[in-house]
Amino acid sequence: MSAEPVILGTPEEPPDLFALPIIEPGDAAPRDPLPSAFDIAAARRDLERAGGAQWESEPAEPRDALAFDLAAARIRLRDQLERPTLAEMLEAFASTGHGPALDLAAGAALPVGKYLPDFLAESAAGVRWAVRNLIVDGSLVAVLGRPESFKSMGLLHLGLALAGGPGWLGFELGDPRPFLYASNEKTGSTVRERLRRMTAQDAPTEPVVVMHRAGVTFADPRRWDAVVGIVAAYAAGGRPPFVALDTLASLSGPGFNENDGRDMGTALAAIRRLTDLGATVALAHHPAKHAEGSGGIVMRGHSSLHGEVDGSLQFTRPERDAESGLIRGEPKDADLVLVRFTWSHETFQLEPAETAFILTARTLAEVVALMYAGEPLSADRLRAEFPGHGRSVFAERLTEAVELGLVTRSGRGRATAYRPADAPDDSVLERWPR
């Protein structure tokens, strides 16, 4: 099969629309002569000068496209393209078997979506909480924290609590439900010991399913269908489960790029299949490194993740030598919650903290970062988080945090307020008091 040279033409004499070869499936790919990418680009410029041109398709490499039995690009003058009228489009839609054109003025049923009264009538009970004022039923929550911040401990503990096991930091919990834990992190012995310790005194009353290193990834349809199948089975019985995914990175598989919109979209689409069934999902992830000293929740990866989640729990451990930390809970459309906790060596559970943190410039900076929500914080508001420490000692540590560049101060006198500073450099980090 040989290729004829590209015939251009003029507006008065349109070009040959089939100048480039078209390969049918099964045909052998033609060999030289084939128009190069340069030839086609030159032809396009000539056609534009002759009245404008439009590509139906534009493969990056014409030779490669032809080699894979794809049709070569065709060029048409814009005035040669036939555009259907609205009436013709509606007639074509009706001829496909999808029914006649919609008469929305008469209140016809919508093929996709619902009218507002119908949408609101689906649930007149208002917000249902899995964890009161923190996690809404059927939502996706990001659980963030750096390594050794008790993020995974808190996530496991929360799942067991929602399954009718031990309580969770004094919060009011919703109805007990099954718990599904999926993770490709840690060793099996580590996860078993954690679950054994956590359930020794308060065993859950609902089923707990553990998918640990079972090869489950978001991009593996067969294995992910197994996860969806379990969730669907519980949901069909009126008990959508709580699902803990630990972590985004471990469940994404090799080659996953969390900064790529397409890769992150694949992961979020898989998670959405669970929340669409009514499951409450907690996704463990890591905060961005540049979140040091910046207020609010900053999670690593593509921005679509932040847009998808309905709330977040950020775990921090201000004192590395102490087995305690802070949780910043930030559900969307609700108030910020700051929870202080300690970790029990015996039960592996998180417990509400009854004592104050050691007062250092470092812990002050962490608290400022967690509490900051766009408005600078007064010294009195910060001091309330460190009960038992004198006013002069607190003022000294706060001044030290400002001098080290961990906290930014603005205003004077009664108007003095504080906000997180930018991330300090390594030389400053080395001088952080412990």
Are 365 and 344 in the same domain? no
Are 149 and 296 in the same domain? yes
CA-based nearest residue to 327, from 308, 350, 309, 307: 350
d(CA 248, CA 155): 14
Are 295 and 379 in the same domain? no
Are 390 and 343 in the same domain? no
Are 173 and 84 in the same domain? no
In a domain, 112, yes or no: no
Amino acid at 232: A
**Mean pLDDT lowest among 9-13, 131-135, 341-345:** 9-13
Residue 266 has pLDDT above 50, yes or no: yes
Q: Is the Cβ–Cβ distance between 159 and 139 less than 8 Å?
A: no
Q: Residue 397's domain spans which residues? A: 361-429
Final residue in a domain of this structure, among 297, 327, 352: 352
In a domain, 107, yes or no: no
Predicted confidence band at 190 (pLDDT cuts at 50, 70, 90)? very high
Q: Is the Cβ–Cβ distance between 421 and 408 less than 8 Å?
A: yes
CA-based nearest residue to 282, from 141, 177, 145: 141
In a domain, 38, yes or no: yes
Q: What is the pLDDT of residues 117-164, one digit of tens each?
A: 777 777 656 678 999 989 999 999 999 998 889 999 999 999 999 999
d(CA 379, CA 393): 12
**Mean pLDDT lowest among 229-233, 236-240, 257-261, 427-431:** 427-431
Are 54 and 1 in the same domain? yes
β partners of residue 294: none
The C-alpha torsion from 237 through 240 and 246 to 252, rounded to 10°, is 80
Residue 81 has pLDDT above 60, yes or no: no
Q: How many domains does the chain have?
A: 3
Are 346 and 370 in the same domain? no
CB atoms inside a 10 Å sphere around CB 109: 9
d(CA 91, CA 109): 19
Are 159 and 191 in the same domain? yes
Are 201 and 310 in the same domain? yes
For residue 420, cis peptide bond before it (omega within 30 degrees of 0): no
pLDDT at 238: 93
In a domain, 172, yes or no: yes
Residue 306 has pLDDT above 50, yes or no: yes
Are 200 and 233 in the same domain? yes
Residue 217 has pLDDT above 90, yes or no: yes
Can you say how many angstroms the Cα of residue 52 is from the centroid of all Cα atoms in its chain?
43
Paired tokens of 37? 């990418």
pLDDT at 368: 87
Q: Give the long-range contacts of residues 171-175, CB within 8 A, separation 24 or more.
A: 171/131, 171/132, 171/133, 171/134, 172/129, 172/131, 172/132, 173/130, 173/131, 173/132, 174/128, 174/129, 174/130, 174/131, 174/132, 174/137
d(CA 232, CA 279): 9
CA-based nearest residue to 429, from 328, 279, 292: 292
Burial of 50 (0-12, 13-18, 19+ CB in 10 A): middle
Final residue in a domain of this structure, among 296, 321, 352: 352
Are 161 and 34 in the same domain? no
Are 306 and 366 in the same domain? no
Residues recorded for the chain: 434
Q: Is the Cβ–Cβ distance between 251 and 245 less than 8 Å?
A: yes
From residue 413, how far is each of 228, 374, 384, 416 by CA, in Å? 58, 21, 19, 6
In a domain, 313, yes or no: yes
In a domain, 213, yes or no: yes
Q: How many CA atoms lie within 13 A of 99 on its CB side?
A: 7
In a domain, 115, yes or no: no
**Mean pLDDT lowest among 13-27, 35-49, 71-85, 317-331:** 13-27
